[in-house]
Structure 1
Protein backbone atom coordinates (compact mmCIF):
# COMPACT_ATOMS: atom_id res chain seq x y z
CA UNK A 1 0.00 0.00 0.00
CA UNK A 2 1.02 3.58 -0.56
CA UNK A 3 2.54 4.74 2.71
CA UNK A 4 1.42 8.34 2.33
CA UNK A 5 -2.18 7.20 1.85
CA UNK A 6 -1.89 4.90 4.86
CA UNK A 7 -0.59 7.83 6.94
CA UNK A 8 -3.58 9.94 5.88
CA UNK A 9 -6.00 7.11 6.76
CA UNK A 10 -4.32 6.59 10.16
CA UNK A 11 -4.46 10.33 10.93
CA UNK A 12 -8.15 10.49 10.04
CA UNK A 13 -8.85 7.44 12.24
CA UNK A 14 -7.02 9.05 15.15
CA UNK A 15 -8.91 12.30 14.73
CA UNK A 16 -12.40 10.77 14.43
CA UNK A 17 -11.90 8.01 17.00
CA UNK A 18 -13.02 4.99 14.97
CA UNK A 19 -12.41 3.13 11.74
CA UNK A 20 -16.08 3.47 10.83
CA UNK A 21 -16.04 7.25 11.11
CA UNK A 22 -12.78 7.46 9.13
CA UNK A 23 -14.20 5.14 6.46
CA UNK A 24 -17.26 7.36 6.04
CA UNK A 25 -15.16 10.52 5.81
CA UNK A 26 -12.73 8.98 3.33
CA UNK A 27 -15.43 7.15 1.34
CA UNK A 28 -13.88 3.72 1.74
CA UNK A 29 -14.79 0.57 3.67
CA UNK A 30 -13.97 0.05 7.35
CA UNK A 31 -12.01 -3.06 6.34
CA UNK A 32 -9.82 -0.95 4.01
CA UNK A 33 -9.17 1.57 6.79
CA UNK A 34 -8.11 -1.27 9.08
CA UNK A 35 -5.77 -2.63 6.38
CA UNK A 36 -4.05 0.76 5.96
CA UNK A 37 -3.47 1.11 9.72
CA UNK A 38 -2.28 -2.50 9.99
CA UNK A 39 0.11 -1.98 7.08
CA UNK A 40 1.64 1.01 8.85
CA UNK A 41 2.02 -0.89 12.11
CA UNK A 42 3.62 -3.85 10.31
CA UNK A 43 6.13 -1.64 8.46
CA UNK A 44 7.03 0.19 11.67
CA UNK A 45 6.94 -2.87 13.92
CA UNK A 46 4.91 -1.02 16.55
CA UNK A 47 1.31 -0.62 17.70
CA UNK A 48 -0.18 2.77 16.87
CA UNK A 49 -3.74 2.20 18.05
CA UNK A 50 -5.12 0.16 20.96
CA UNK A 51 -8.32 -1.38 19.64
CA UNK A 52 -11.26 -3.10 21.35
CA UNK A 53 -14.68 -3.97 20.04
CA UNK A 54 -16.05 -0.70 21.47
CA UNK A 55 -13.29 1.87 21.23
CA UNK A 56 -9.78 2.70 20.05
CA UNK A 57 -7.09 4.93 21.50
CA UNK A 58 -3.64 6.08 20.50
CA UNK A 59 -0.62 4.51 22.13
CA UNK A 60 2.13 6.84 23.31
CA UNK A 61 4.13 6.07 20.18
CA UNK A 62 0.97 6.35 18.12
CA UNK A 63 0.32 9.85 19.48
CA UNK A 64 3.86 10.98 18.63
CA UNK A 65 3.58 9.36 15.19
CA UNK A 66 0.22 11.04 14.61
CA UNK A 67 1.76 14.47 15.32
CA UNK A 68 4.49 13.79 12.78
CA UNK A 69 1.99 12.46 10.25
CA UNK A 70 0.03 15.70 10.50
CA UNK A 71 3.19 17.69 9.76
CA UNK A 72 4.09 15.48 6.79
CA UNK A 73 0.57 15.61 5.34
CA UNK A 74 0.47 19.39 5.78
CA UNK A 75 3.74 19.70 3.84
CA UNK A 76 2.34 17.50 1.08
CA UNK A 77 -0.77 19.71 0.87
CA UNK A 78 1.46 22.80 0.75
CA UNK A 79 3.56 21.28 -2.04
CA UNK A 80 0.43 20.40 -4.02
CA UNK A 81 -0.95 23.91 -3.54
CA UNK A 82 2.33 25.45 -4.67
CA UNK A 83 2.41 23.28 -7.78
CA UNK A 84 -1.18 24.18 -8.62
CA UNK A 85 -0.51 27.87 -8.05
CA UNK A 86 2.57 27.82 -10.27
CA UNK A 87 0.58 25.98 -12.90
CA UNK A 88 -2.27 28.51 -12.84
CA UNK A 89 -0.32 31.73 -12.13
CA UNK A 90 2.83 32.79 -14.05
CA UNK A 91 5.64 32.37 -11.56
CA UNK A 92 9.26 31.22 -11.40
CA UNK A 93 12.29 31.24 -13.70
CA UNK A 94 11.75 30.99 -17.47
CA UNK A 95 14.75 30.19 -19.68
CA UNK A 96 14.44 31.59 -23.22
CA UNK A 97 16.77 31.24 -26.22
CA UNK A 98 16.55 33.46 -29.30
CA UNK A 99 18.69 34.53 -32.29
CA UNK A 100 21.07 37.38 -31.60
CA UNK A 101 19.65 40.16 -33.78
CA UNK A 102 15.96 39.48 -33.25
CA UNK A 103 16.59 38.97 -29.56
CA UNK A 104 18.56 42.15 -28.93
CA UNK A 105 16.47 44.52 -31.08
CA UNK A 106 12.91 43.17 -31.04
CA UNK A 107 12.58 40.58 -28.29
CA UNK A 108 14.36 42.45 -25.48
CA UNK A 109 11.78 45.31 -25.31
CA UNK A 110 9.00 42.70 -25.36
CA UNK A 111 10.62 40.81 -22.47
CA UNK A 112 10.77 43.89 -20.23
CA UNK A 113 7.09 44.60 -20.89
CA UNK A 114 6.25 40.97 -20.08
CA UNK A 115 8.19 41.14 -16.82
CA UNK A 116 6.36 44.32 -15.85
CA UNK A 117 3.06 42.51 -16.44
CA UNK A 118 4.05 39.39 -14.49
CA UNK A 119 6.17 40.47 -11.49
CA UNK A 120 6.59 36.93 -10.13
CA UNK A 121 8.34 35.67 -13.27
CA UNK A 122 12.10 35.82 -13.83
CA UNK A 123 13.60 35.38 -17.31
CA UNK A 124 17.01 34.04 -18.26
CA UNK A 125 17.40 35.27 -21.87
CA UNK A 126 20.19 33.77 -23.98
CA UNK A 127 20.93 35.32 -27.38
CA UNK A 128 22.94 33.27 -29.83
CA UNK A 129 22.80 32.18 -33.47
CA UNK A 130 24.14 28.72 -32.62
CA UNK A 131 21.91 25.65 -32.52
CA UNK A 132 20.35 25.08 -29.10
CA UNK A 133 19.10 21.74 -27.81
CA UNK A 134 16.36 22.60 -25.28
CA UNK A 135 16.67 19.32 -23.41
CA UNK A 136 20.46 19.43 -23.05
CA UNK A 137 20.70 23.18 -22.42
CA UNK A 138 17.60 23.45 -20.23
CA UNK A 139 15.65 26.02 -22.25
CA UNK A 140 11.87 26.08 -21.97
CA UNK A 141 11.19 28.42 -24.91
CA UNK A 142 13.11 28.82 -28.16
CA UNK A 143 12.65 31.23 -31.05
CA UNK A 144 14.02 30.04 -34.36
CA UNK A 145 14.31 31.68 -37.76
CA UNK A 146 14.36 29.53 -40.88
CA UNK A 147 12.95 26.16 -41.87
CA UNK A 148 12.34 23.81 -38.96
CA UNK A 149 13.83 20.38 -38.65
CA UNK A 150 11.75 17.46 -37.43
CA UNK A 151 11.76 17.35 -33.66
CA UNK A 152 9.63 16.59 -30.64
CA UNK A 153 9.20 20.32 -29.97
CA UNK A 154 5.84 22.02 -30.36
CA UNK A 155 6.09 24.91 -32.85
CA UNK A 156 3.83 27.98 -33.11
CA UNK A 157 4.28 30.28 -36.12
CA UNK A 158 5.20 33.93 -35.76
CA UNK A 159 5.31 36.62 -38.44
CA UNK A 160 7.93 35.92 -41.13
CA UNK A 161 11.35 37.45 -40.54
CA UNK A 162 11.58 39.94 -43.39
CA UNK A 163 14.58 41.94 -44.59
CA UNK A 164 14.47 45.30 -46.36
CA UNK A 165 17.19 47.45 -47.90
CA UNK A 166 17.89 50.90 -46.47
CA UNK A 167 20.45 53.69 -46.56
CA UNK A 168 21.00 56.99 -44.78
CA UNK A 169 19.88 60.22 -46.50
CA UNK A 170 23.50 61.39 -46.45
CA UNK A 171 24.66 58.30 -48.36
CA UNK A 172 21.89 58.64 -50.94
CA UNK A 173 22.72 62.32 -51.38
CA UNK A 174 26.31 61.40 -52.29
CA UNK A 175 25.74 58.24 -54.33
CA UNK A 176 22.13 58.28 -55.46
CA UNK A 177 19.55 55.56 -54.87
CA UNK A 178 19.66 52.24 -56.76
CA UNK A 179 16.64 51.79 -59.00
CA UNK A 180 16.90 48.05 -59.56
CA UNK A 181 18.65 45.33 -57.51
CA UNK A 182 21.45 45.05 -60.08
CA UNK A 183 22.47 48.62 -59.23
CA UNK A 184 23.57 47.41 -55.78
CA UNK A 185 26.77 46.03 -57.32
CA UNK A 186 27.85 49.66 -57.85
CA UNK A 187 27.27 50.65 -54.22
CA UNK A 188 28.95 50.19 -50.85
CA UNK A 189 26.88 47.49 -49.11
CA UNK A 190 27.11 46.60 -45.44
CA UNK A 191 27.14 42.83 -45.37
CA UNK A 192 26.17 40.64 -42.44
CA UNK A 193 28.53 37.66 -42.18
CA UNK A 194 27.71 34.38 -40.47
CA UNK A 195 31.14 32.85 -40.79
CA UNK A 196 34.37 33.44 -42.68
CA UNK A 197 34.74 36.86 -44.28
CA UNK A 198 35.85 35.20 -47.54
CA UNK A 199 32.31 33.93 -48.20
CA UNK A 200 30.60 35.89 -50.93
CA UNK A 201 27.56 37.90 -49.88
CA UNK A 202 24.48 37.63 -52.07
CA UNK A 203 21.26 39.58 -51.61
CA UNK A 204 18.04 38.22 -53.09
CA UNK A 205 14.97 40.24 -54.13
CA UNK A 206 11.78 39.23 -55.89
CA UNK A 207 9.27 41.11 -58.03
CA UNK A 208 6.33 39.60 -59.89
CA UNK A 209 7.62 36.08 -59.17
CA UNK A 210 10.99 36.95 -60.68
CA UNK A 211 14.09 36.49 -58.49
CA UNK A 212 17.03 38.88 -58.58
CA UNK A 213 20.22 37.64 -56.90
CA UNK A 214 23.06 40.14 -56.62
CA UNK A 215 26.54 39.72 -55.23
CA UNK A 216 27.26 42.78 -53.14
CA UNK A 217 30.50 44.28 -51.88
CA UNK A 218 31.49 47.01 -49.51
CA UNK A 219 34.16 48.32 -47.18
CA UNK A 220 32.56 46.93 -44.01
CA UNK A 221 31.35 43.45 -43.10
CA UNK A 222 30.36 42.26 -39.64
CA UNK A 223 28.64 39.46 -37.73
CA UNK A 224 26.96 42.05 -35.50
CA UNK A 225 23.86 43.90 -36.66
CA UNK A 226 24.33 46.76 -34.21
CA UNK A 227 27.70 47.59 -35.78
CA UNK A 228 26.21 47.49 -39.27
CA UNK A 229 23.21 49.58 -38.26
CA UNK A 230 25.48 52.22 -36.77
CA UNK A 231 27.50 52.33 -39.98
CA UNK A 232 24.33 52.62 -42.07
CA UNK A 233 22.89 55.52 -40.08
CA UNK A 234 26.29 57.24 -40.33
CA UNK A 235 26.07 57.07 -44.14
CA UNK A 236 28.71 54.41 -44.83
CA UNK A 237 26.60 52.18 -47.07
CA UNK A 238 23.40 50.30 -47.85
CA UNK A 239 22.14 47.77 -45.34
CA UNK A 240 19.80 44.80 -45.77
CA UNK A 241 18.27 44.38 -42.35
CA UNK A 242 15.27 43.05 -40.44
CA UNK A 243 12.13 45.06 -41.07
CA UNK A 244 11.39 45.37 -37.34
CA UNK A 245 14.84 46.86 -36.77
CA UNK A 246 14.71 49.18 -39.77
CA UNK A 247 11.23 50.62 -39.20
CA UNK A 248 12.11 52.80 -36.15
CA UNK A 249 15.15 54.14 -38.00
CA UNK A 250 13.01 54.98 -41.03
CA UNK A 251 10.39 56.75 -38.88
CA UNK A 252 13.14 58.75 -37.18
CA UNK A 253 14.54 59.83 -40.57
CA UNK A 254 17.92 58.20 -40.00
CA UNK A 255 17.34 55.69 -42.81
CA UNK A 256 15.37 55.61 -46.05
CA UNK A 257 14.01 52.45 -47.61
CA UNK A 258 15.33 51.74 -51.09
CA UNK A 259 14.01 49.40 -53.78
CA UNK A 260 10.50 49.58 -52.27
CA UNK A 261 8.97 47.79 -55.27
CA UNK A 262 11.05 44.68 -54.61
CA UNK A 263 10.49 42.14 -51.85
CA UNK A 264 13.54 41.28 -49.82
CA UNK A 265 14.40 37.91 -48.31
CA UNK A 266 11.87 36.43 -45.91
CA UNK A 267 12.27 33.44 -43.62
CA UNK A 268 9.72 31.70 -41.39
CA UNK A 269 9.96 32.29 -37.65
CA UNK A 270 8.56 30.10 -34.88
CA UNK A 271 8.39 29.88 -31.12
CA UNK A 272 9.06 26.37 -29.87
CA UNK A 273 8.71 24.65 -26.53
CA UNK A 274 9.11 21.06 -25.31
CA UNK A 275 6.07 18.83 -25.50
CA UNK A 276 4.33 18.60 -22.12
CA UNK A 277 1.02 17.24 -20.97
CA UNK A 278 0.03 20.77 -19.97
CA UNK A 279 2.50 23.69 -20.12
CA UNK A 280 2.92 25.75 -16.97
CA UNK A 281 1.35 29.19 -16.67
CA UNK A 282 4.67 30.98 -17.22
CA UNK A 283 5.20 29.16 -20.53
CA UNK A 284 1.60 29.62 -21.67
CA UNK A 285 1.52 33.31 -20.81
CA UNK A 286 4.86 34.03 -22.48
CA UNK A 287 3.89 32.25 -25.70
CA UNK A 288 0.47 33.90 -25.84
CA UNK A 289 2.02 37.34 -25.32
CA UNK A 290 4.70 36.57 -27.90
CA UNK A 291 2.12 35.62 -30.51
CA UNK A 292 0.08 38.74 -29.73
CA UNK A 293 3.21 40.84 -30.27
CA UNK A 294 4.88 39.11 -33.20
CA UNK A 295 2.22 36.85 -34.70
CA UNK A 296 -0.61 39.20 -35.67
CA UNK A 297 1.81 41.51 -37.47
CA UNK A 298 1.95 38.89 -40.21
CA UNK A 299 -1.73 39.41 -41.01
CA UNK A 300 -1.53 43.18 -40.58
CA UNK A 301 1.26 43.52 -43.12
CA UNK A 302 -0.36 41.26 -45.70
CA UNK A 303 -3.81 42.90 -45.63
Structure 2
Protein backbone atom coordinates (compact mmCIF):
# COMPACT_ATOMS: atom_id res chain seq x y z
CA UNK A 1 0.00 0.00 0.00
CA UNK A 2 1.40 3.44 -0.94
CA UNK A 3 2.81 5.54 1.89
CA UNK A 4 1.39 8.98 2.72
CA UNK A 5 4.92 10.43 2.64
CA UNK A 6 5.28 9.32 -0.97
CA UNK A 7 1.98 11.03 -1.85
CA UNK A 8 3.26 14.24 -0.26
CA UNK A 9 6.51 13.95 -2.19
CA UNK A 10 4.55 13.37 -5.42
CA UNK A 11 2.48 16.53 -4.93
CA UNK A 12 5.64 18.53 -4.20
CA UNK A 13 7.21 17.33 -7.44
CA UNK A 14 4.19 18.48 -9.43
CA UNK A 15 3.87 21.82 -7.61
CA UNK A 16 7.57 22.67 -8.06
CA UNK A 17 7.97 20.94 -11.44
CA UNK A 18 11.38 19.67 -10.46
CA UNK A 19 12.89 16.60 -8.81
CA UNK A 20 15.96 18.65 -7.87
CA UNK A 21 13.97 21.37 -6.12
CA UNK A 22 12.00 18.81 -4.09
CA UNK A 23 15.22 17.02 -3.17
CA UNK A 24 16.64 20.32 -1.92
CA UNK A 25 13.51 21.12 0.12
CA UNK A 26 13.49 17.69 1.79
CA UNK A 27 17.26 17.50 2.13
CA UNK A 28 17.52 14.25 0.20
CA UNK A 29 19.14 13.37 -3.12
CA UNK A 30 17.45 13.71 -6.49
CA UNK A 31 17.83 9.97 -7.06
CA UNK A 32 15.93 9.22 -3.85
CA UNK A 33 13.04 11.42 -5.02
CA UNK A 34 13.01 9.65 -8.39
CA UNK A 35 13.09 6.18 -6.79
CA UNK A 36 10.20 7.02 -4.43
CA UNK A 37 8.04 8.30 -7.29
CA UNK A 38 8.84 5.18 -9.31
CA UNK A 39 7.99 3.06 -6.26
CA UNK A 40 4.64 4.85 -5.96
CA UNK A 41 3.90 4.20 -9.65
CA UNK A 42 4.79 0.51 -9.28
CA UNK A 43 2.56 0.11 -6.21
CA UNK A 44 -0.37 1.75 -8.00
CA UNK A 45 0.29 -0.02 -11.28
CA UNK A 46 0.06 3.16 -13.38
CA UNK A 47 2.39 5.79 -14.77
CA UNK A 48 1.84 9.11 -13.00
CA UNK A 49 4.36 11.41 -14.70
CA UNK A 50 5.78 11.72 -18.21
CA UNK A 51 9.44 12.64 -17.73
CA UNK A 52 11.43 14.55 -20.35
CA UNK A 53 14.65 16.53 -20.10
CA UNK A 54 12.69 19.78 -20.19
CA UNK A 55 9.58 19.23 -18.11
CA UNK A 56 7.35 16.91 -16.13
CA UNK A 57 3.80 16.24 -17.37
CA UNK A 58 1.02 14.50 -15.50
CA UNK A 59 -0.69 11.48 -17.02
CA UNK A 60 -4.47 11.19 -16.62
CA UNK A 61 -4.25 8.96 -13.50
CA UNK A 62 -1.45 11.20 -12.25
CA UNK A 63 -3.73 14.24 -12.53
CA UNK A 64 -6.49 12.48 -10.57
CA UNK A 65 -4.05 11.43 -7.84
CA UNK A 66 -2.47 14.88 -7.63
CA UNK A 67 -5.75 16.70 -7.00
CA UNK A 68 -6.89 14.13 -4.42
CA UNK A 69 -3.51 14.06 -2.68
CA UNK A 70 -3.40 17.85 -2.59
CA UNK A 71 -6.74 17.86 -0.75
CA UNK A 72 -5.29 15.47 1.85
CA UNK A 73 -2.31 17.77 2.36
CA UNK A 74 -4.54 20.80 2.80
CA UNK A 75 -6.81 19.09 5.31
CA UNK A 76 -3.85 17.83 7.32
CA UNK A 77 -2.17 21.24 7.29
CA UNK A 78 -5.42 22.90 8.30
CA UNK A 79 -5.75 20.54 11.26
CA UNK A 80 -2.16 21.18 12.39
CA UNK A 81 -2.51 24.94 11.99
CA UNK A 82 -5.77 25.01 13.94
CA UNK A 83 -4.02 23.44 16.92
CA UNK A 84 -0.72 25.32 16.78
CA UNK A 85 -2.55 28.61 16.28
CA UNK A 86 -3.77 28.55 19.87
CA UNK A 87 -0.23 28.79 21.22
CA UNK A 88 0.42 32.10 19.46
CA UNK A 89 -0.91 35.56 20.16
CA UNK A 90 -3.39 36.59 17.47
CA UNK A 91 -3.37 40.17 16.24
CA UNK A 92 -4.16 42.38 13.25
CA UNK A 93 -7.36 43.00 11.30
CA UNK A 94 -9.53 40.41 9.53
CA UNK A 95 -12.10 41.33 6.90
CA UNK A 96 -14.91 38.77 6.74
CA UNK A 97 -17.95 38.44 4.46
CA UNK A 98 -20.86 36.31 5.73
CA UNK A 99 -24.41 35.50 4.53
CA UNK A 100 -27.17 37.70 5.95
CA UNK A 101 -29.02 34.91 7.78
CA UNK A 102 -25.91 33.40 9.39
CA UNK A 103 -24.61 36.85 10.24
CA UNK A 104 -27.74 37.87 12.08
CA UNK A 105 -28.41 34.54 13.82
CA UNK A 106 -24.93 33.41 14.81
CA UNK A 107 -21.83 34.93 13.27
CA UNK A 108 -22.13 38.53 14.49
CA UNK A 109 -21.98 37.33 18.09
CA UNK A 110 -19.38 34.64 17.36
CA UNK A 111 -16.99 37.03 15.63
CA UNK A 112 -17.45 39.69 18.32
CA UNK A 113 -16.69 37.12 21.03
CA UNK A 114 -13.56 36.08 19.14
CA UNK A 115 -12.32 39.67 19.26
CA UNK A 116 -12.98 39.79 23.00
CA UNK A 117 -10.84 36.67 23.46
CA UNK A 118 -7.97 38.19 21.46
CA UNK A 119 -7.50 41.87 22.46
CA UNK A 120 -4.90 42.54 19.75
CA UNK A 121 -7.26 41.50 16.97
CA UNK A 122 -10.02 43.38 15.11
CA UNK A 123 -12.66 42.12 12.69
CA UNK A 124 -14.69 43.89 10.01
CA UNK A 125 -17.79 41.86 9.11
CA UNK A 126 -19.79 42.47 5.93
CA UNK A 127 -23.13 40.73 5.36
CA UNK A 128 -23.84 39.83 1.74
CA UNK A 129 -25.70 36.89 0.19
CA UNK A 130 -23.73 37.13 -3.05
CA UNK A 131 -20.29 35.57 -3.40
CA UNK A 132 -17.73 38.35 -3.19
CA UNK A 133 -14.35 38.55 -4.91
CA UNK A 134 -11.92 37.87 -2.07
CA UNK A 135 -8.93 39.45 -3.79
CA UNK A 136 -10.61 42.43 -5.46
CA UNK A 137 -12.71 43.25 -2.39
CA UNK A 138 -9.81 42.58 -0.02
CA UNK A 139 -11.52 39.99 2.17
CA UNK A 140 -9.46 37.58 4.26
CA UNK A 141 -12.27 35.09 4.81
CA UNK A 142 -15.73 34.42 3.37
CA UNK A 143 -18.43 32.21 4.89
CA UNK A 144 -20.75 30.88 2.20
CA UNK A 145 -23.18 28.08 1.43
CA UNK A 146 -23.06 25.88 -1.65
CA UNK A 147 -20.16 24.68 -3.75
CA UNK A 148 -16.80 26.22 -4.60
CA UNK A 149 -16.10 26.79 -8.30
CA UNK A 150 -12.93 28.91 -8.22
CA UNK A 151 -9.95 26.52 -7.98
CA UNK A 152 -7.69 29.36 -6.77
CA UNK A 153 -9.61 29.35 -3.46
CA UNK A 154 -9.76 26.87 -0.60
CA UNK A 155 -13.07 25.91 1.00
CA UNK A 156 -13.16 24.22 4.38
CA UNK A 157 -16.44 22.53 5.21
CA UNK A 158 -17.82 23.79 8.53
CA UNK A 159 -21.34 22.47 8.87
CA UNK A 160 -24.42 21.25 7.00
CA UNK A 161 -27.59 23.32 7.13
CA UNK A 162 -30.88 21.38 6.90
CA UNK A 163 -33.84 23.02 5.17
CA UNK A 164 -37.51 22.46 5.99
CA UNK A 165 -40.77 22.92 4.10
CA UNK A 166 -43.05 24.98 6.29
CA UNK A 167 -46.19 27.07 6.44
CA UNK A 168 -48.54 28.58 9.02
CA UNK A 169 -51.43 26.79 10.74
CA UNK A 170 -53.65 29.46 9.18
CA UNK A 171 -52.66 28.39 5.66
CA UNK A 172 -53.28 24.70 6.42
CA UNK A 173 -56.66 25.50 7.92
CA UNK A 174 -57.65 27.39 4.80
CA UNK A 175 -56.06 25.28 2.03
CA UNK A 176 -55.23 21.92 3.61
CA UNK A 177 -51.89 20.18 4.07
CA UNK A 178 -50.12 18.35 1.20
CA UNK A 179 -49.33 14.72 2.01
CA UNK A 180 -46.92 14.10 -0.88
CA UNK A 181 -44.45 16.33 -2.76
CA UNK A 182 -46.72 16.24 -5.83
CA UNK A 183 -49.48 17.60 -3.60
CA UNK A 184 -47.53 20.88 -3.57
CA UNK A 185 -48.49 21.37 -7.22
CA UNK A 186 -51.94 22.37 -5.95
CA UNK A 187 -50.57 24.89 -3.43
CA UNK A 188 -49.05 28.36 -3.53
CA UNK A 189 -45.30 27.91 -3.00
CA UNK A 190 -42.90 30.73 -2.13
CA UNK A 191 -39.74 30.70 -4.25
CA UNK A 192 -36.17 31.45 -3.15
CA UNK A 193 -34.35 33.07 -6.07
CA UNK A 194 -30.87 32.51 -4.59
CA UNK A 195 -31.12 28.81 -5.51
CA UNK A 196 -28.82 28.00 -8.41
CA UNK A 197 -31.41 25.58 -9.83
CA UNK A 198 -34.21 28.15 -9.78
CA UNK A 199 -36.63 29.48 -7.15
CA UNK A 200 -39.30 26.83 -7.66
CA UNK A 201 -37.14 23.73 -8.23
CA UNK A 202 -37.46 22.03 -4.86
CA UNK A 203 -35.33 19.12 -3.73
CA UNK A 204 -36.92 15.98 -2.25
CA UNK A 205 -35.78 12.54 -1.14
CA UNK A 206 -37.26 9.10 -1.77
CA UNK A 207 -36.24 5.52 -0.97
CA UNK A 208 -34.17 6.88 1.94
CA UNK A 209 -31.26 8.19 -0.17
CA UNK A 210 -32.40 9.13 -3.68
CA UNK A 211 -32.71 12.87 -4.34
CA UNK A 212 -34.91 14.34 -7.03
CA UNK A 213 -36.22 17.78 -8.02
CA UNK A 214 -39.84 18.80 -8.42
CA UNK A 215 -40.87 22.08 -10.02
CA UNK A 216 -43.55 23.82 -7.98
CA UNK A 217 -45.11 27.24 -8.54
CA UNK A 218 -46.38 30.26 -6.68
CA UNK A 219 -47.12 33.96 -6.82
CA UNK A 220 -44.20 35.26 -4.76
CA UNK A 221 -40.43 34.81 -4.85
CA UNK A 222 -37.52 36.63 -3.21
CA UNK A 223 -33.74 36.51 -2.82
CA UNK A 224 -34.26 37.12 0.90
CA UNK A 225 -35.23 34.06 2.96
CA UNK A 226 -36.45 36.24 5.84
CA UNK A 227 -38.99 37.82 3.47
CA UNK A 228 -40.27 34.35 2.56
CA UNK A 229 -40.60 33.52 6.25
CA UNK A 230 -42.74 36.61 6.78
CA UNK A 231 -44.96 35.65 3.87
CA UNK A 232 -45.36 32.12 5.26
CA UNK A 233 -46.17 33.49 8.73
CA UNK A 234 -48.96 35.57 7.18
CA UNK A 235 -50.49 32.42 5.72
CA UNK A 236 -49.66 33.37 2.14
CA UNK A 237 -48.03 30.12 1.07
CA UNK A 238 -45.60 27.27 1.69
CA UNK A 239 -41.85 27.96 1.90
CA UNK A 240 -38.65 25.87 1.83
CA UNK A 241 -36.33 27.53 4.35
CA UNK A 242 -33.20 26.93 6.48
CA UNK A 243 -34.04 25.34 9.81
CA UNK A 244 -31.99 27.97 11.66
CA UNK A 245 -34.18 30.75 10.27
CA UNK A 246 -37.49 29.23 11.38
CA UNK A 247 -36.41 27.31 14.50
CA UNK A 248 -38.06 29.69 17.01
CA UNK A 249 -41.28 29.94 14.98
CA UNK A 250 -41.48 26.15 14.82
CA UNK A 251 -41.02 25.89 18.59
CA UNK A 252 -43.81 28.41 19.19
CA UNK A 253 -46.12 26.78 16.64
CA UNK A 254 -46.28 29.90 14.47
CA UNK A 255 -44.98 27.73 11.64
CA UNK A 256 -45.38 23.97 11.15
CA UNK A 257 -43.22 21.59 9.13
CA UNK A 258 -44.78 20.05 6.04
CA UNK A 259 -43.64 16.77 4.40
CA UNK A 260 -40.85 16.12 6.96
CA UNK A 261 -40.05 12.68 5.51
CA UNK A 262 -39.66 14.05 1.99
CA UNK A 263 -37.58 17.22 2.36
CA UNK A 264 -34.05 16.48 1.18
CA UNK A 265 -32.29 19.81 0.99
CA UNK A 266 -29.03 20.00 2.92
CA UNK A 267 -26.64 22.85 2.13
CA UNK A 268 -22.99 22.88 3.17
CA UNK A 269 -21.60 25.92 4.97
CA UNK A 270 -18.00 26.67 4.02
CA UNK A 271 -15.17 28.91 5.11
CA UNK A 272 -13.45 30.17 1.95
CA UNK A 273 -10.05 31.84 1.70
CA UNK A 274 -7.37 32.38 -0.98
CA UNK A 275 -5.05 29.46 -1.71
CA UNK A 276 -1.82 29.68 0.25
CA UNK A 277 0.53 26.97 1.39
CA UNK A 278 0.07 27.98 5.01
CA UNK A 279 -2.87 30.25 5.91
CA UNK A 280 -2.30 32.62 8.82
CA UNK A 281 -2.85 31.36 12.35
CA UNK A 282 -5.55 33.94 12.99
CA UNK A 283 -7.61 32.76 10.00
CA UNK A 284 -7.27 29.11 11.05
CA UNK A 285 -8.19 29.93 14.65
CA UNK A 286 -11.21 31.99 13.54
CA UNK A 287 -12.48 29.18 11.29
CA UNK A 288 -12.21 26.72 14.16
CA UNK A 289 -14.04 29.16 16.45
CA UNK A 290 -16.87 29.51 13.91
CA UNK A 291 -17.12 25.74 13.47
CA UNK A 292 -17.41 25.25 17.25
CA UNK A 293 -20.21 27.83 17.41
CA UNK A 294 -22.18 25.99 14.75
CA UNK A 295 -21.62 22.70 16.56
CA UNK A 296 -22.77 24.29 19.82
CA UNK A 297 -26.27 24.93 18.46
CA UNK A 298 -26.44 22.19 15.82
CA UNK A 299 -30.05 21.33 16.75
CA UNK A 300 -31.05 24.72 15.29
CA UNK A 301 -29.45 23.89 11.94
Q: Which TM-score band applies after superposition, normalised by the shorter structure?
A: 0.5 to 0.7
Q: Distance in 1 between matches of 2:241 and 2:260?
A: 14
Tell me which residue corresponds to 1:223: 223
- The within-5 A match list for 1:82-93 is 88-93=88-93
SS of residue matched to 1:288: helix
Using a 3 Å threshold, how does the CA distance of structure 1 residues 261 and 283 change in structure 2: closer, same or farther? same
Q: Distance in 2 between matches of 1:264 and 1:96?
A: 30
Tell me which residue corresponds to 1:147: 147
Q: Does 1:180 align with 2:180?
A: yes
> 1:3-23 deviations in whole A, cap 9, x for unaligned?
xxxxxxxxxxxxxxxxxxxxx
Using a 3 Å threshold, how does the CA distance of structure 1 residues 207 and 110 change in structure 2: closer, same or farther? farther
Offset, 1:290: 0.9
TM-score normalised by structure 2 residue count = 0.61
C-alpha contact (below 8 Å) 2:143/2:270 kept by paired residues: yes
Runs (5+) with no aligned partner, structure 2: 1-86
Using a 3 Å threshold, how does the CA distance of structure 1 residues 120 and 260 change in structure 2: closer, same or farther? same
Q: Distance in 2 between matches of 1:161 and 1:136?
A: 28
Which structure has the greater CA radius of gyration? 1
SS of residue matched to 1:236: coil
Offset, 1:153: 3.0
Using a 3 Å threshold, how does the CA distance of structure 1 residues 148 and 270 change in structure 2: closer, same or farther? same
Using a 3 Å threshold, how does the CA distance of structure 1 residues 119 and 216 change in structure 2: closer, same or farther? farther
Offset, 1:244: 1.6
Q: Greater shift after overlay, 279-288 or 246-255?
A: 279-288
Runs (5+) with no aligned partner, structure 1: 1-86
Question: Aligned residue pairs: how many?
Answer: 214
Offset, 1:220: 2.0
Tell me which residue corresponds to 2:125: 125
Tell me which residue corresponds to 1:202: 201
Using a 3 Å threshold, how does the CA distance of structure 1 residues 271 and 170 change in structure 2: closer, same or farther? same
SS of residue matched to 2:293: helix
Q: Distance in 1 between matches of 2:192 and 2:216?
A: 11
SS of residue matched to 2:228: helix
CA RMSD of aligned residues (A): 3.1
Offset, 1:294: 2.5
C-alpha contact (below 8 Å) 1:159/1:296 kept by paired residues: no
Q: Distance in 2 between matches of 1:109 and 1:230?
A: 24
Offset, 1:116: 4.3
Tell me which residue corresponds to 2:134: 134
C-alpha contact (below 8 Å) 1:94/1:124 kept by paired residues: yes
Q: Greater shift after overlay, 276-285 or 175-184?
A: 276-285
Tell me which residue corresponds to 2:51: none
Q: Distance in 1 between matches of 2:118 and 2:252?
A: 31
Offset, 1:185: 1.2
Offset, 1:180: 0.7
> 1:112-132 deviations in whole A, cap 9, x for unaligned?
443444454332222223332
Q: Distance in 2 between matches of 1:105 and 1:187?
A: 30
Q: Does 1:237 align with 2:237?
A: yes
